[in-house]
Amino acid sequence: MRRVAHWIGGKPWDGASERAGDIFNPATGEVAGHVDFAGPAEVDAAVDAAAAAFAGWRAASLAKRSNVLFGFRELLAARKTELAEILTAEHGKVLSDAAGEIQRALEVVEYACGVPTLLKGGYSENASTGVDVYSIQQPLGVVAIISPFNFPAMVPLWFVPIAIACGNSVVLKPSEKDPSASIAIAEMWAEAGLPDGVFNVVHGDKVAVDRLLEHPTVKAVSFVGSTPVARHIYDTAARHGKRVQALGGAKNHMVVLPDADLELAADAAVSAGFGSAGERCMAISAVVAVDPIGDDLVAKIASRMAELRVGEGTRPGCEMGPLITPQHRDKVTGYLDAGVADGAELTVDGRKHPIDGAAEGFWLGPTLFDHVAPDMSVYTDEIFGPVLSVVRAPSYQAAVDLVNANPYGNGVAIFTDDGGAARRFQNEIEVGMVGVNVPIPVPVAYYSFGGWKQSLFGDAHAYGPDGVRFYTRTKAVTSRWLDPSHGGVTLGFPQNV
């Protein structure tokens, strides 16, 4: 049986970990391999390797660093299909979706290739007479990245290329549920010429994570996962003096105004609700239908859902795969009973959807609830599965109030033909990423990705300019050369003249 080992100091770790976990193929229910779970000793070995590599990598010129990044970019582009197959085998998402994830990751790598431009500081000549002031951005040291199961390639690559481009060394702790993509990525970094130890991977669970959070050598932590864990990461890492950004869970709304093109809105709701079986932090989980379009919109969504092909991600034509584990499938399925018990209308029951795959897979078909109220668990909880709720709202204002009252603030979309309403919405809505007639508004790589409220703990968003700021410290230098007019001894506070 295949064993996925840690990657430390530029090669697979050949020591034995005391614990290991199963890796499933969610489409067949089979155990496809095992992954080592790091204890403190393996984490320490990875951090030591990263610390040893840091001095050399920090000193590597920007030209050298961007050269390695360009090399990595070429390898990632060339191996997109191979990597997509790894993702589908362990995560279950269909191949086209897996390829899309890698394409978005590539955009971040390409952004990081521009590191010579990204790290340009400011320079003020003659800020005071004969005195120049300038800023330089320097790496932090060893940084830890902890990622979730739902984007095993893209989420690590939101962070790793920028951290490395900025001169840091990295310890990645990917999800234990689909760990192989991180090893394929490690091999590509090595092949691209990244010095050994600059990128390391430790697998495992809370034990490995908690050691990273407490390790004195780790200077910063980037985390993506559920809100309760994000809060734990933020609190613990900050208490140990680290810079931390912890991206959490979500409950994304799609507000549909009465003037919207309902065909477009229904397509968008189905695509964004059921893509990747709803296991996306930017998935739409609540459609807010503003009166009087609710009945029309629900009918259009339901008819599209009936056409969706659910099955094994490798089968041509399949659009939606299984859920990640049997436990998660059962938890999500439990919301179907909870919604009915709370009084919502189960318009489409995903348990009845035909499945193109093995009976043992972790399946649940697309599900639609109508007349969902804000106090029902299908609305309050992040379900993270193929369950879409429609909430009816009497007015634009009621829709905005509903979204703003939600504790999460990751993504939101508005569908309308009214530019004025859209502009007002983007101003009033308390959510970090807004789509106007775009259901999944994941920003391009040269902006930054991040939610508000309980969808992000910390100040910096992921990738883009925030990513560069997060992985660097700014130093301001005030310099005077060969100026005889320095004024001799003076104990007064220096003034700029």
Contact 231, 246 (CB under 8 A): yes
Q: Which is nearer to ligand NAD, 127 or 442 (by Cβ)?
A: 442
Token pair listed for 431: 């959510």
Q: Which is nearer to ligand NAD, 142 or 290 (by Cβ)?
A: 142
Considering the complex, what minimum distance in angstroms separates the CB of residue 219 from ligand NAD? 19
Token pair listed for 187: 């091999």
Considering the complex, what minimum distance in angstroms separates the CB of residue 205 from ligand NAD? 5
> Which residues sit at the interface with ligand NAD, rule CB under 6 A?
146-151, 155, 173, 175-176, 205-206, 209, 224-226, 229, 232, 247-250, 281, 382, 384, 410, 451, 455
Q: Which is nearer to ligand NAD, 97 or 370 (by Cβ)?
A: 97
The partner residues of 348 in beta bridges, in order of sequence, read 368
Considering the complex, what minimum distance in angstroms separates the CB of residue 310 from ligand NAD? 20
H or E segment to which residue 158 belongs? helix 154-165
Q: Which is nearer to ligand NAD, 148 or 467 (by Cβ)?
A: 148
H or E segment to which residue 106 belongs? helix 95-113
What is d(CA 19, CA 168) in angstroms, rounded to the nearest whole number?
Answer: 29
Considering 113, 166, 281, 318, which one is annotated as catalytic?
281
- The DSSP bridge pattern shows strands 19-25 and 11-12 to be unpaired
Q: Give catalytic status of residue 281 as yes or no.
A: yes
Distance of CA 428 to the CA centre of its chain: 25
Taking CB atoms, the residue at the shortest distance from ligand NAD is 225
H or E segment to which residue 220 belongs? strand 218-224
Q: Which is nearer to ligand NAD, 396 or 408 (by Cβ)?
A: 408
The residue count of the chain comes to 497
Considering the complex, what minimum distance in angstroms separates the CB of residue 18 from ligand NAD? 17
Contact 431, 421 (CB under 8 A): no
Edge-to-edge strand order for the sheet containing 387-393? 345-348, 367-370, 387-393, 284-290, 252-256, 411-415, 433-436
Crossing angle of helices 95-113 and 154-165, in 10° steps, is 10
Q: Which is nearer to ligand NAD, 75 or 160 (by Cβ)?
A: 160
Considering the complex, what minimum distance in angstroms separates the CB of residue 173 from ligand NAD? 6
Close Cβ partners of 120 (under 8 Å, ≥ 6 residues apart): none
Considering the complex, what minimum distance in angstroms separates the CB of residue 70 from ligand NAD? 27
Contact 408, 451 (CB under 8 A): yes
Q: Is 410 helix (H, G, I), strand (E, B) or coil?
A: coil
What are the residue numbers of the active site?
A: 281
